[in-house]
Amino acid sequence: MEKPRITSAEDWQRARDELLRAEKEATRALDALAARRRRLPMVRFDNGYVFDTPTGHRTLLDLFEGRGQLVVYQFMDSGPEHYCPGCTWFTDNVPVSAPDKLADRGVTWVTASDMPLTQIEAYKARRGWTIPFVSSRGSTFAEDCGAGKGFMLSVFLRDGDDVYRTYNTTARGVDRLLFTQNILDLTPYGRQEDWEDSPTGWPQRPTYG
């Protein structure tokens, strides 16, 4: 297995300082994007969806649990006993404490799926997940969010009983939220996936291999 070249402490520090300048530029760019995100307009969203939950049927407004903001991750429905590896990996990366920490800031976290609730609960138990899941099966919620048969993260804001969508993202926009991916991006071998731009001889494999 190939390894990074060995250099002196002085040369390493120069290279690190050069990279740090680029990292700071990227951080400032991300801060600017976040500022633009906070200034996005919002669109009224139907509150008539009914979700199946372990405590009974609940509306989209109910999912807020009285808080002002709601984040929903739409977990793909791949059919009976089939589970999206990307959605599974994403959910594995949601810290157990995240819902409580978000709630402290007035944000509720929910994972929704078109899978039947019984299938969701069985998979949750198998994976050891404790984060809240609801079933959107039988509703057009996934379709209306734009997720369709795929996955998506959507952000909602409530004003009294009115619900609005303020943001959504999918694909790499969701990928950047993952703790494990962000840590791996700091390591010499990265994620070790074959799409990455890595030096020749670096270990790489298919993303879900």
pLDDT bracket for residue 197 (50, 70, 90)? very high
Q: Note whether 54 and 120 are same-domain residues.
A: yes
H-helix or E-strand containing 19? helix 9-38
Predicted local distance difference test score (pLDDT) of residue 1: 84
CA distance 95 to 93: 6
pLDDT in tens, 103-114: 999 999 999 999
Predicted local distance difference test score (pLDDT) of residue 98: 95
Q: Note whether 16 and 81 are same-domain residues.
A: no
pLDDT in tens, 147-170: 999 999 999 999 999 999 999 999
- Whether 93 has a pLDDT exceeding 90, the answer reads yes
- Whether 37 has a pLDDT exceeding 70, the answer reads yes
Question: 174 near 153, Cβ under 8 Å?
Answer: yes
- Whether 198 has a pLDDT exceeding 80, the answer reads yes
- Whether 4 has a pLDDT exceeding 90, the answer reads yes
Q: Give the residue carrying structure tokens 């006993």.
A: 81
Q: Note whether 134 and 31 are same-domain residues.
A: no
Q: Name the phi and psi angles at 67, rounded to 5.
A: -85, 170
Q: Note whether 56 and 15 are same-domain residues.
A: no
- Whether 207 has a pLDDT exceeding 90, the answer reads no
Domain that holds residue 27: 9-39
Predicted local distance difference test score (pLDDT) of residue 208: 73
Is residue 188 in some structural domain?
Answer: no
Q: Note whether 59 and 117 are same-domain residues.
A: yes
Q: Note whether 24 and 92 are same-domain residues.
A: no
Is residue 183 in some structural domain?
Answer: no
Question: 61 near 157, Cβ under 8 Å?
Answer: no
Is residue 98 in some structural domain?
Answer: yes
Question: 121 near 144, Cβ under 8 Å?
Answer: no
C-alpha angle with apex 40: 36 to 45, nearest 5 degrees?
155
- Residue 169: what residue type? T
C-alpha angle with apex 94: 147 to 187, nearest 5 degrees?
105
Average pLDDT over residues 41-67: 96
Q: Note whether 118 and 138 are same-domain residues.
A: yes
pLDDT in tens, 166-184: 999 999 999 999 999 999 9
- Whether 96 has a pLDDT exceeding 80, the answer reads yes
* Assessment of whether the complete model's pTM goes beyond 0.85: yes
Is residue 184 in some structural domain?
Answer: no
| Helix, strand or coil, per DSSP, at residue 165 | strand
Is residue 208 in some structural domain?
Answer: no
Predicted local distance difference test score (pLDDT) of residue 68: 97
Average pLDDT over residues 73-93: 95
Q: Note whether 68 and 155 are same-domain residues.
A: yes
- Domains contained in the chain, number: 2
Is residue 197 in some structural domain?
Answer: no
- Whether 209 has a pLDDT exceeding 70, the answer reads no
DSSP string, 51-119: EEETTEEEEHHHHTTT-SEEEEEEE---STT---HHHHHHHHTS-TTHHHHHHHTTEEEEEEESS-HHH
